[in-house]
Structure 1
Amino acid sequence: MHWRPLAETLATRAVHPTSRWRPWISALPRHTLVPRWWARTPHGWRLHDGRTDPSAWAATAYQDRSLVTRIGPLHADKAHSADRPQGMPTSSATEPGLVVRMFQHARIEDGHQLLDVGTGSGYGTALAACRLGEERVTSIDVDPYVVEAARSRLGDLELRPRLDVVDATGPLPGVYDRIVATVGVRPVPAGWLEALKTGGRLVTTISGTSLIITADKRADGAAVGRVEWDRAGFMQARHDDDYAAALPDGLRHTALHGEGEAVTAGTYPVVDVQEGWDLASMLAVEAPGTVTGYRADGDERTTWLAHPDGSWARATSYGGQLPLVHQSGPRRLWDVLDRIRSYWLQHGELPLRGARVKITQDGHTVLERGSWRATL
């Protein structure tokens, strides 16, 4: 494959022409790190093998987008063409432009020791190793196969940073000037502050949100920073081979079809929560673990919410009218959503972006902006 012109085009799309990361994007054969991947279709996940379709491989690998490499416990490298796995993505090759933005938030400088949390395909690790030198980069992932595959493929590129199999929510190996995570956590694990040098900076996202947190470690062991105005979404850090079920059996069906304990008229129109990144992030902060869904059928619009504690809500509208809301369980999830939307209207924006962040030594994470305060 004549990949160099493709990598140059990717660099043009992913970063500004003056970015110091551009030469490294242009110099890396991304396709070699992602030989197989999963693509979502109307009929489920479909496997793609680059070696059997080189033109699709070239076209896909050098787009500035993320490529899913693992669904549930099944990695694309180990799958057969007839496999149709169910479940959530559990590993990927992150969008190159997003990888660079996370590194830029970290303010990486020459001589820094970097911990890359979430090895994935190894592409971000490769960029960091080119930028800092392989001896200054450590990358960790909870998945032994992911780590071994990345180690082998990076070795083929003559890059040999340190790669370890580690649960990122526990103790971390080494001490670092920068910690950059391409997995979401909630709260920030205490082990991250232990592994961060005084004056060092960590960059991560909060699970279930698009919130990027940057924080610098103080001499007292705490870290302070803010929620950036930028956005990113990553898979949640996992401890095992797959994620646990998000909801109890049957709750999704109940949310879609149940009558509920409370039936009221809604205050605001039906909204697709996941398409409103700030709205979804605020809901995840206020009611963590809430799962949402949306469907449209002609003039009918329905949004549903459900929580592992058994709470659920459903709002349905017709022809753009205000919805009828059904709710049940220990908390009223639609009321939570309405309070968030009321705050937005009263204040002109939600308080998340730009909020101050303080992370204590034990990982206790607090967000504050004005009179608003949330503890993760």
Structure 2
Amino acid sequence: MSDIGLDWEAHARRLADDQHLRPESPWWGPVTSTPRHIFVPHWWERGTNGRVVRRGTDDPDAWLKAAYSNDTLVTRLGTLHADHAELGTVIPYGTWPTSSSTLPTLVVTMYRHAMPGDDSRMLVTTGTGYGTALACRRLGDKQVISVDIDDYLVQAAADRLSSIGLHPHTTVCDITKSLPDQVDRIVSTVSVRPIPPSWLTALRPGGRLVTTITDTGLILVADKTKDGGAHGFIANDKASFMSVRHGDDYPPAPDNAGLWETAQNAEGESVTTGRYPVMRVSDTWDVRSTLELTVPGIEHRMDVGKDGTRTAYMLHPDGSWARAEASGRRELPTVQQGGPRRLWDELDRIRTWLVIDGDLPVSGAAVRIDPDGTCHLKRSGWSATIAPR
């Protein structure tokens, strides 16, 4: 793909500076020498009524601004790639992104945690191919394997990589299944839960994996052990990636319409006053992540009325629900709960731990991974297990 004469090098250097990378960093060179715009010629941008497709060559200045910002650029919504969308296409909000070019800071953060040596063979996830390009610049393209489940994404990325002289091994595969080769590092910019056993099989002795846990903000770093499992830790950094998918799109979300109606209108089996003001759980990472490990699968919704009334809802597939309503940001809510579990009580227990200790043990927790992928997290008397579903 032509760069139509764009002066991208100065933008790439500014991007490296924005990431506080110094020239002596092993990632400064890859960031400053990789033309990110080549990998995102089209992307989905937020509009008034939904996401609209943008084409870089129509507005080179906007293309450079978007491509060299430290932002994630969505490139696929549902089954529609931005490369294939007609100009003027608007996709209403509610359609889940299924591929993107991850913000560069986060790609570098994941690679830093991987700590590859100069001779490391590293497997990465493809997406647009930008992260693959950074890995190739750092290690050499023959040391990089790039995989994705989407054959178009893999081919498009391979073509764009080739256009800048990079020829890593690319292949179409489900990353949770058998991997194409033995490697020293696995870095996944899609989230998984639990760790696929195939990763442990593919890692060479002492190899390292870096990934995120689905529906949390947790980066997991672990080194393979002699028993075929791995030991590691939850990093202090936070990250959120799209969940791994096993087909062309994600399966339909559970139909919570009936439970949503109940949560909005029903009188609770338990009616209490909450310990803390209403919080937007989805905007936290430590509270949300701890709650997800404690009670997986909660859906969070929130309404803020014109009068300042704040109402938070929690819905769970087992039929549990909670509604917490307060007249303002600092007011304690009236909490109504129903179903087999008291979801808001679980949230308040986590918030109490945070108030008392100043942090939550999920950050910095020790991790042990069994050969079947089951993850055991432990810190400060707290523990959680992430088992195969």
TM-score by length of structure 1 reads 0.96
Aligned: 1:44 with 2:50: yes
- Aligned equivalent of 2:242: 235
2:73 paired with 1:73: no
In structure 1, what residue type is equivalent to 2:150? Answer: D
Match of 1:177 in 2: 184
Aligned to 2:60: 54
Q: Which residue of 1 aligns with 2:375?
A: 365
| 1:115 partner SS | strand
The equivalent residue for 1:345 is 355
Q: Is the Cα contact below 8 Å between 1:246 and 1:308 reproduced in 2?
A: no
Instruction: Kindly provide the CA deviation profile for residues 238-270 of structure 1, in whole angstroms up to 9, marking residues without a partner as x.
Output: 112222233324144443444443332222210
Which residue of the partner structure matches residue 110 of structure 1? 118
Cα distance in 1 for residues equivalent to 2:54 and 2:202? 38
Quote the offset at 1:369 in angstroms.
0.6
Kept in 2, the 8 Å contact 1:73–1:90? The answer is: yes
Query: Equivalent of 2:106, from 84, 98, 103?
Result: 98
Aligned to 1:278: 286
Task: Name the CA shift for 1:211/1:264 in 2 (closer, same or farther; >3 Å).
Answer: same
Which whole-Å deviations, capped at 9, do the CAs of 1:203-225 have from their partners, x for residues lacking one? 11111111111111111211001
- Deviations along 1:89-118, one digit per CA (max 9) or x if unpaired, are 1111011111111111011111100010x3
Cα distance in 1 for partners of 2:106, 2:90 equals 30
Structure-2 separation of matches of 1:305 and 1:227: 26
Identify the residue that residue 3 of structure 2 maps to in structure 1. none
Residue of 82, 85, 105 corresponding to 2:89: 82
Which residue number corresponds to residue 16 of structure 1?
A: 21
SS at match of 1:336: helix
Out of 219, 224, 247, the position equivalent to 2:231 is: 224
CA distance in 1, matches of 2:171, 2:261: 41
Instruction: Provide the residue aligned with 2:32 in structure 1.
Output: 26
Q: In the TM superposition, what whole-angstrom CA distance separates every residue of 1:154-186 from its partner, at most 9, and x where no partner exists?
A: 111111111111111111111110111111111
Which residue of 2 is the match for residue 264 of structure 1? 272
Q: Give yes or no for the alignment of 1:314 onto 2:314.
A: no
More deviation, 41-50/70-79: 41-50
The code of the aligned residue for 2:180 comes to: P
Of 288-297 and 141-150, deviating more is 288-297
Aligned AA (1:352): V
The more displaced of 45-54 and 305-314 is 305-314
Question: Which residue in 2 is equivalent to 1:355?
Answer: 365
Read off the aligned partner of 2:137 and give its amino acid letter.
Answer: C
Distance 1:258 1:166 in 2: 46
Q: Could you list the structure 1 runs, at least 4 aligned residues long, displaced by more than 4 angstroms after superposition.
A: none
Q: Which residue of 1 aligns with 2:170?
A: 163
Distance of aligned partners of 1:90 and 1:255 in 2 relative to their CA distance in 1, 3 Å threshold: farther
Per-residue deviation, 1:7: 1.2
Where structure 1 has 5 or more consecutive residues not aligned to the other structure, the ranges are: none
**Residue 247 to residue 261, structure 1, CA distance change in 2 (3 Å):** farther
Distance 2:246 2:210 in 1: 20
Higher mean displacement: 78-87 or 222-231:
78-87
Tell me the C-alpha RMSD between the 2 structures.
1.5
Unaligned runs of 5+ in 2: 1-5
TM-score by length of 2: 0.93
CA distance in 2, matches of 1:248, 1:280: 22
Q: Contact 2:29–2:137 (CA<8 Å) still a contact in 1?
A: no
Q: Distance in 1 between matches of 2:123 and 2:288?
A: 29
Q: 1:40 to 1:330 in 2, by over 3 A?
A: farther
1:290 counterpart = 2:295: no
Distance in 1 between the 2:169 and 2:266 partners? 52
In structure 2, the residue matched to 1:300 is 309
How far has the Cα of 1:295 moved from its partner? 2.6
Show CA shifts across 1:268-308 (max 9, x none): 21001122211111111111121212232232011111122
Which residue of 205, 209, 219 corresponds with 1:212?
219
Q: Does 1:192 align with 2:202?
A: no
